[in-house]
Amino acid sequence: MDLTQWLTLISICLLGAMSPGPSLAVVLGCVVREGRGGGLRAGVAHGAGVALYGLLTVTGLALLIAQTPAIYTALQVAGAVYLLFLGGRALYHLTQPTVASAETTTGSSSAWQGFLVAFLNPKLAVFMLALFSQFLQPGFGVQEKAIMVATVGITDAVWYCLVAVLLSRPGFRDRLQRSATTIDGIFGVILIALALSVLYAALRT
């Protein structure tokens, strides 16, 4: 893979990461509840989840996921259930503010949220297959494939970590925390709506 191809790969990965969705909502929620550290943990873990799908793609397992309806649907349903859990918990915090503050003492919560919101999204398998098919060549060995996997994971992690840093700036985070109840309510509704749409799409096929 030459430099031009590599930069093109980074650009596509960055555009994919920048598209709004549940991942952004999860990172923002972690920043509001756990501060910059929580957002960074969620961002790094999300990048690890994306890198895992990159690894599955170069090993051929992502094709199995994409072409096996039972596996794909199972991941969709699991992802929808997880989004329902996150959305329900956000709405629960509207009436239980002390729960949110208690979460600031746990570091694993934000990391798991970041990883699972990526891992339980089987559309990443389809995206990686489409993306890597443009760059993978028959002669590529372990080194080239490792570079591709690292590129997609690191690019994603860097983007969400940048988002976490920007959102956690003292003045801005103070405003976010003052509006934490409203943010929890908005993103709770958004996550539940996304979960229901994913469930509908999964169960109607």
Q: Summarize pLDDT for 70-113 with one digit per residue, the tens.
A: 888 898 899 899 989 888 887 877 766 544 444 444 567 899 99
Angle (CA) 102 107 113, round 5°? 95
Dump pLDDT digits (tens) for 37-70. Answer: 999 999 999 999 999 999 999 888 888 888 888 8
User: Which residue do the tokens 């994971």 mark?
Assistant: 153
pTM: 0.83
65 within 8 A of 125, measured Cβ to Cβ: yes
pLDDT value for 136: 78
Q: Which helix (H) or strand (E) holds 198?
A: helix 180-203
Residue 83 has, within 13 A of its CA and on its CB side, a CA count of: 28
Percent of the chain with pLDDT over 90: 30
Dump pLDDT digits (tens) for 104-156. Answer: 445 678 999 999 999 998 888 888 988 888 887 777 888 888 999 999 999 99
pLDDT band at 177, cuts 50/70/90? low
Average pLDDT of the chain, as a whole number: 84
CA dihedral 92, 112, 186, 79 (to 10 degrees): -100
Sign of CA pseudo-dihedral 123, 15, 156, 101: negative
Least confident piece of the model among 5-9, 141-145, 178-182: 178-182
Separation between Cα atoms, residue 135 and residue 50, nearest integer Å: 17
Separation between Cα atoms, residue 123 and residue 130, nearest integer Å: 11
